[in-house]
């Protein structure tokens, strides 16, 4: 079956612009996660959605970052007023059995 998909695969934007990144989880997966990987770093947790529960936003680095998950499926990560330090690979993962997360290919964001 189809895996986790993300779009766009690459995004170049200017400092100060807003960007939206999209994630389509594996069908039937109830949990959805966003992570980012900056150059030379491990993956950093951003936000977690589980069913209809309130999301765990504890990893969001600033109030410029927000995410929503519509209808318990597709999720959008929005970064407002982008900064150069936001440049990273943004990865989405989904899971059914919550311990094992399956990742998408990521969106490579470059803020100039």
Task: Quote the CA–CA distance of 77 and 85 in Å, as a whole number.
Answer: 16
Tokens 């612009």, residue located: 17
Write the interaction track for other proteins spanning residues 75-104; mark x where CB under 8 A is met and - where it is not.
----------------x-x-x--xxxxxxx
CA dihedral defined by 97, 88, 79, 53, rounded to 10 degrees? 10
Write the interaction track for other proteins spanning residues 37-76; mark x where CB under 8 A is met and - where it is not.
---xxxxxx--x-------x-xx-----------------
DSSP state of 72: G
Q: Which residues bind other proteins (CB under 8 A)?
A: 4, 6, 31, 33, 35, 40-45, 48, 56, 58-59, 91, 93, 95, 98-106
């Amino acid at each position: 079956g189809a895996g986790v998909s993300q779009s766009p695969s690459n995004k170049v934007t200017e400092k100060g612009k807003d960007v939206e990144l999209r994630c389509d989880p594996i069908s039937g997966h109830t949990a959805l996660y966003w992570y980012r990987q900056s150059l030379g770093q491990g993956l950093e947790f951003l936000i977690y959605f589980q069913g209809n529960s309130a999301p765990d936003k504890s990893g969001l680095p600033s109030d410029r970052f927000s995410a929503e998950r519509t209808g318990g499926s597709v999720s959008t990560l929005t970064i407002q007023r982008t900064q150069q330090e936001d440049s990273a690979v943004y990865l989405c993962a989904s899971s059914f059995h919550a311990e094992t997360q399956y990742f998408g290919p990521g969106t490579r964001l470059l803020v100039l």
